[in-house]
Amino acid sequence: MTLVGHLINGRVIADGTRRQAVFNPATGQSTKQVELASKATVEQAIAAAQAAFPGWRNTPPLKRARVMFRFKELLEKHADTICALIGEEHGKITHDAMGELQRGIENVEYACGAPELLKGEHSKNVGPNIDSWSEFHPLGVVAGITPFNFPAMVPLWMFPMAIVCGNCFVLKPSERDPSATLYIAQLLQEAGLPDGVMNVVNGDKEAVDTLIEDTRVEAVSFVGSTPIAEYIYTRATAHGKRCQALGGAKNHAIVMPDADMDNAVNQLVGAAFGSSGERCMALSVAVAVGDAAGDALVSRMQEAMQHLKVGASSDSRNDFGPVITKAHQEKVVGYIDSAEAQGATIVVDGRRTQVDGYEDGFFVGGTLIDHVSHDMTSYREEIFGPVLQVVRVDSMQEAMALIDAHEYGNGTCIFTRDGEAARHFSDNIKVGMVGINVPLPVPVAYHSFGGWKRSLFGDLNAYGPDAVRFYTRRKTITQRWPSASVREGAEFSMPTME
C-alpha cells in the first residue's frame, strides 16, 4: 500500500510514528496510508525553514519570481496527474478539479509580480534634506493549515505569495487527501526552490498545535470550519503570532420576483451541487421573495435536478462525486433527516443515492428542501453537502434581515433585473463577498478573499493584495545627512514642518 510521507528540507521522509488510512470516497476503500507527524517531526520542518530563511530573504525578489514562473509551467504540464490525485482522494470530478487547479495557478501568476508588489514607497524632502521610505520585510517562518475540499487551490492561496515575499513555509494539508498537495510541493522543488524554503507535514491536532505554539513560527494561515478557525486564531494570537483563520459559511441567494428564473435555476444548480456542495462558497440557501417566485423556483429546480449525474471522478460526464468520508455522508443525511423532522418538505431526496459499480461509495445525491425556517438545525448550521434549502419571505428587506442575522457572513448573491435593488443589496448586506446574478462571487487572484462575522478571524483576507500585507512587515526609514558646514542646535519640541 502506498505511503504518503512528509517533505522536509527537500526530501520526502517518513517518521514511522503514526499512520492513517486514506480512502477513495467513490469506492469506500482505503487506497493509501498517510504519515501523521509527531511533534518532533513538525519541529524538524520548522528548523529546516528557519535555517533556509537567511539565504532566501536575501534572494532578490526577481529571482524568487522566476521560481514561480517555472512552478506555474510545471503545474500546467502536470495538471492531469494533479487532478487524478484529487479525484482519487477527494472524489472531485476531473473537470471540477481542473477548475480548482486553474484558480490556484492564477494565484501563482499573481505571485510572479513580486518585484512590483514589494517595491515599497519613497518620499523625498519630507523635511529639510530629509527623505523617507518604506520597505516590506518578510516575517520568517510562516505556516499554513488547509482543508480537504481544495487540496490544490487553498494551499496555492498561501505559500506562493508567502514565499515570494521572502518567507519560508511549513504547510499542514488535510490528512484526508494529502497526495495532490505533496506532489505540488515537489513540483515547486523541481522549479528550483532551495531546500527548506517549502516544507509539508501531514498530521492531525498534534501537528496543528505544534505549529501554533512554536515560537519560531511568526504567522499562521488557516481555512476550515468555524470552531477550528476560532481555536487556531485564539491560540495563535495568544502565542504572539499573526493569524488569519477563515471559517464556515451559510451562503444565501435572494431570488427576486423579477429575476430571470431560468438563469437563476441554472446558476443555483451548479453553485449548490458542484463539488458535492463541499465548498465554503457553495450556495446552500435560496431565499425566494414571494410565494410566486418560490413556487416557480422549486418547480424549475426540481425539473433541472432530474438531469444531475452523480458518480466517480474519472467520468467527466458526471456533475459531482461523493462526499469525503462515510462519517460526513452520515452527517449530511442527518441534516436532511432533521429538516424533515422539523417540518420542512423534501422535494428532491438524495439520501439513498447509489451509483452502479460504486455501491460502497460515500454518495449523497442532490437534495432540494422547501419551506425551511430560520429556527431549523439544517438552516442554522453548515451542511457542507449537496443540499439546497428554500426559505420563503415576503420582501427583500425580510430576506436581507435573515441573511444579516446569521452568524456567518462569507458569501451571498441576488438574482434580479432591478439595478436599484442590486445596488441597495450590495451596499447594505453584512457579508464579505457579494454577487449580483453571480452565484459564486469568489474574487480573482488580484483581489482578496474573505468573509465577515464568524466566517473570518483576523484583520486581513486571503491572497491578493492582503497577502502581501499579511506575509510582510512594513519598515519605514527616515534619513538625513546634515551639511558639514551647518550645525544646528538641539530641538526639544516635536519636529514639524511649520
Catalytic residue numbers?
280
61-77 vs 94-111: helix axis angle to the nearest 10? 170
Dihedral class, residue 95 (left if φ above 0, else alpha if ψ from -120 to 50, else beta): alpha
Q: Is the dihedral of CA 283, 288, 294, 300 positive or negative?
A: negative
For the chain, count helices (H), then strands (E). Answer: 16, 23
10 Å Cβ neighbour count for 227? 11
Cell, residue 378: 439544517
DSSP class of residue 385?
S
The C-alpha atoms of residue 212 and residue 270 are separated, in whole angstroms, by 37
Spatial neighbors of 40 by CB under 8 A, at least 6 apart, are 15
The C-alpha atoms of residue 264 and residue 392 are separated, in whole angstroms, by 16
Of the candidates 172, 216, 221, 219, the one whose C-alpha atom is nearest the C-alpha of residue 198 is 172
- Terminal CA-to-CA distance of the chain, rounded, Å? 76
Degrees to nearest 5, angle at CA 222 with 454 and 334: 60
3-state secondary structure of 142: strand
Dihedral class, residue 169 (left if φ above 0, else alpha if ψ from -120 to 50, else beta): beta
Cell, residue 110: 499573481
Of the candidates 433, 150, 87, the one whose C-alpha atom is nearest the C-alpha of residue 283 is 433
Cell, residue 432: 464579505
3-state secondary structure of 327: helix
Residue 464 vs residues 154, 426, 458, 460: alpha-carbon distances, Å: 13, 21, 16, 10
List the beta strands (DSSP E) in 309-400.
Answer: 345-348, 367-370, 387-393
Size (the chain), residues: 498
